Amino acid sequence: MQVQAATVRNEGKIVSGIQDDKRIAGKQLKISAERLDNQGELNASGHLAVQASAVENTGKIAANSAKLEAKQQVKNSGQIVTAQTLTVATQQLDNSGTLHTESDLRVVAESVDNRGKIVAAEELNIAASDLNNSGEMLIDGHLHLHVDGDLKNTGLIAAKGDADISAGTLTQDGGQILSGQDIQLRIRDVLHNLGVLSAARHMRISAAQLNNDGSLG
């Protein structure tokens, strides 16, 4: 199924060529729009591809795999769920809902603000200019977090595998960064820890300045 429009607003569901006033779904679903506003349910049993200037989801988006590309913003206060790889590419990711994949989750953005939950059953890979986490990032596999500017954490970042984190500055204000294996931190300027940094095995820290008023171990 392919949908192309200036604005796509869904308050119902979309499912496999069968449409009623409640839902829309298709095996492969491609949406091209200036704006996608989903308040209902988008369900693709195959791959979901979205290309838009802005995406807002207050409902549920479910697919086997998905790639969301938005020039300006992806704003999610609902659920975005995939069985395979979930990719989000945008200027600004504003998440107060749930991003959940049973595989890898990849985010490329200028700005990431996570107040909700980001869950990856395998790897989580985030590349951003600035990142603010006051929610939860839960990873069963490895974490790769690369932030050019400021990384601020007041929430929970927990990986069962290795955590590889690089940033211009890292500020932990009551937040927790936990690894079930190794943590490697490469901070270009200041690492200010008022929270918990903990690795089950080894921790390696490289920073121009380390201010620790919390827990390292």
Q: Quick: pLDDT tens for 89-100.
A: 999 999 999 999
> Taking a C-beta distance cutoff of 8 angstroms, is the pair 7, 24 a contact?
no
Q: Which pLDDT belongs to residue 5?
A: 61
Let me know if residue 193 belongs to a domain: yes
Report, as an integer, the average pLDDT of 31-39.
92
> How many structural domains compose the chain?
1
Provide the token pair at 159: 């990986």
**Is the residue at 45 inside a domain?**
no
The answer to the question of residue 42 being in a domain is no
Q: What would the mean pLDDT of 2-9 be, rounded to a whole number?
A: 68
**Structure confidence at residue 14 (pLDDT):** 59
Specify if 84 maps to a domain.
Answer: yes
Confidence at 29, pLDDT banded by 50, 70, 90:
confident
Looking at the domain assignment, is residue 153 inside a domain?
Answer: yes
Q: Is the pTM of this model over 0.95?
A: no
* pLDDT score recorded for residue 9: 64
In a domain, 156, yes or no: yes
Q: How far is CA 114 from CA 42, 92, 143, 151, 154, in A?
A: 22, 11, 16, 12, 10
Position 29 in a domain:
no
Residue 75 pLDDT: 98
